[in-house]
Structure 1
Amino acid sequence: MAKQEISIRTEDGTARAGLFRPDHQTAAGVILYMDAFGLRPALDAMAERLAAEGYAVLVPDLFYRFGDYGPFDARTAFSEEPSRSALRSMIEGTSQDMTRRDSAAFIEALTEAGATNRIGTVGYCMGGSRALHAAAAYPDRIAAAASFHGGRLASDAPDSPHRHVSTIRGRVYVGSAGVDGSFPPEQSGLLAEALRRAEVDHIIENYVGMAHGWAVSDHSVYDAGGAERHWKRLTTLFHETLR
C-alpha cells in the first residue's frame, strides 16, 4: 500500500493528513485519531497495518490550527520543557467540538478516496474520545468506534463522551490501561452505564498490567504482547462491522 500526503479543507482551515490505501479497491474506510504527540512514523506504521487488512485509512492532524509543530518525542515530551507546556496548550486548545466538525471533512476525504461505504474510527490517548465523539456525530456513516488508553471518557465536562453516546448506532470497543489516572474505574462504570442505557453494542476491556500508551510503538511503556492483543480486538471489530 502507498501513503499519500493530502490537505483537507475544514471549516477552520486546512489539515494535513496521511492517506493509506490498500493494494486493492475498497469501499470501507478508517479514521485514525492521533494521540497527543502528532503525526509521525509510529502512527504511519499503524495505518499501514490497517490498510493491509483492506481499509483506506486516514490519519489527520488534529493540531493543524497551531501551525507547524513537532512531532513530539512520545518518550520525553511530557517530562521536559518546552515540549510539556506546548503540548498542554495544544491539547487544551483543541476541543471536542472542533474535532466533531473536522470529522465531517475527514469523512468526505475518505469518500473521495473511494471509501463510500461504512467507516470505522479508532483513537489513542486524546484520540480515543475523538473516535467516540465522531461516531456519535455521524452515525449514518460510522459503524464502529474504538478507543485505546483514551482519557476522560466519562468526566464532569459537558463534552465528555459518555454524555453523547445516545446517537451512536455502531459498535463501540474501549480498551483501557490496567491503571490509568485519566480513565479510573469510576469513569469506566459511568461510561458502561451510559452505553447500556443508550442500547449501544459495546465492550469495555481492562488490559491488566498495561500502562497508558501501551499500544503505540514509540511510547516508553509500549508492550508488544499487549499491542498484539489490541490489534486482534481492533481488526475483529472492523472485520465484523465494516465488511
Structure 2
Amino acid sequence: MLSKTLHISTADGQADAFAAFPEGGEKHPGVLMYPDGFGIRPVLRDMACELAGHGYYVLVPNIFYRHGPTPVIELPEHIGEEARPAVFAQLMPLIQAHTEERSLSDADDYLRFLTAQPQVGAGPVAVTGYCIGGLVAMRTAVAHPGQVAAVASFHGPVGAVGAESLAKLTARAHLGHAEGDLTPEDLAELNQSLDAAGVDYTSEIYPGTLHGFTMSDTDAFDAAALQRHWDRLLPLLDGALGRS
C-alpha cells in the first residue's frame, strides 16, 4: 500500500490531504473520504489505507485547512471524556465556520483533484464521511449527481441536508446512524424523504452505539459497529463503481 501527503489548490488556498492507494501503477476507482471533526490523524489514515487495500484510491482532505494544516488542533492520543471539553472548545468554531457554501466550493476542488490523479481511473467516484464529514459527503453527492455514484455517511447529521436537497440525490447511499444521534421517529422521517426521492439506499441505526462509534481513538468506539460499517460500505462501493 502506498500513501502520501498532497496539497489541493482551492478557491481559498491550499488544502493538505492524505492519499492511500494500491501499489502497482494501475488505475483504481476514486473515493473521497471526509474525516470527522477531529480531522486527519492516525485512525483516519489507517481507515483510508484499509479501504485502499480493497482496490481504491482514497483521498482524505483536511476540511479545516483555512485554519491551518494538519493537525489543525492538537489532540491527545486517545480522545477520552476528560479531554473532550478542551478539544471541543477549539473545534466548535471551526465546525461552525465550515458553512455549506464553503463545503460545496471545496468539494468541487477535491473532486477535480481526485479525478486528475494518475492512479484514478475514468468513471464515477464515491464519497464517504464521518460525523460532520458524513454531512459534507451527502452535500457533495447531491451537488454532483453525474459524478458521485455512491455515498456513505456514518454517525453524520445528515438530517441537516433537508428533504428538498435529498430529492436531488442520485447516488446509491448507506447511512449508518448512532443510536444516540436520532430517534426511530427521526429515522422514519429521513427514510421517507429518501423513499420519496427514489434513492437506492439503506439507512439504519447501529444498535447500542454512541456518536463516533467508528473511531478507535475515542471512548465511543465500538468494534462490532466498525465491522458493520465495513460490511455495508464495501459492497456499496463495489457495486456502484463497477467492481462487482
Same fold by TM-score, threshold 0.5 exceeded? yes
Q: Say which SS state the counterpart of residue 213 (structure 2) adopts.
A: coil
- Counterpart of 1:222 in structure 2 is 221
The correspondence of residues 164-203 of structure 1 with structure 2, limited to 5 A, is 164-180=165-181, 183-203=182-202
CA RMSD of aligned residues (A): 1.7
Give the Cα separation in 1 of the matches to 2:75 and 2:59: 20
Does the aligned pair in 2 maintain the 1:129–1:161 contact within 8 Å?
Answer: no
- Alignment map for 1:1-243 (pairs within 5 Å): 1-24=1-24, 25-68=26-69, 69-73=72-76, 74-76=79-81, 79-81=84-86, 83-114=87-118, 115=120, 116-151=122-157, 153-155=158-160, 160-180=161-181, 183-243=182-242
> What do the CA deviations read for 1:48-75 (whole angstroms, capped 9, x no partner)?
0110000000000010111242253433
| Aligned partner letter, 1:72 | L
C-alpha distance in structure 2 between counterparts of 1:149 and 1:236, whole Å: 19
1:161: Cα distance to partner? Answer: 4.4
Percent identical across equivalent pairs? 34
Moved over 6 A (4+): none
- The one-letter code matched in structure 2 to 1:4 is K
Cα distance in 1 for partners of 2:188, 2:63 equals 28
Q: Summarize deviations over 1:24-70 as a string: whole Å, max 9, x none.
A: 42341101111010110100000001100000000000101112422
Q: Could you tell which deviates more after superposition, 200-209 or 185-194?
A: 185-194
TM-score by length of 2: 0.90
SS at match of 2:88: helix
Closer, same or farther: CA 112–217 of 1 in aligned 2, 3 Å: same
The letter of the residue matching 2:172 is R
Decide which moves more: 60-69 or 123-132.
60-69
Segments of structure 1 that go 5 or more residues without pairing to the other structure are: none
For 1:30 and 1:40, the matched residues in 2 are separated by 18
1:123–1:146 Cα contact (<8 Å) kept? yes
In the TM superposition, what whole-angstrom CA distance separates every residue of 1:80-138 from its partner, at most 9, and x where no partner exists? 32x32211101101012211111111111111213232211111111111111110001
Can you give the 5+ residue segments of structure 2 that lack an aligned partner in the other structure? none
Distance 1:186 1:163, change over 3 A: farther
SS in 1 for 2:152: strand
Q: Deviation string for 1:164-203 (max 9, x for gaps)?
A: 12222110110011222xx333432232121111111111
Distance 1:49 1:71 in 2: 25
Letter of the 1:20 counterpart = A
Give the 3 Å change call, closer, same or farther, for CA 196–71 of structure 1 in structure 2.
Answer: farther
Deviation at 1:163, TM superposition (A): 3.2
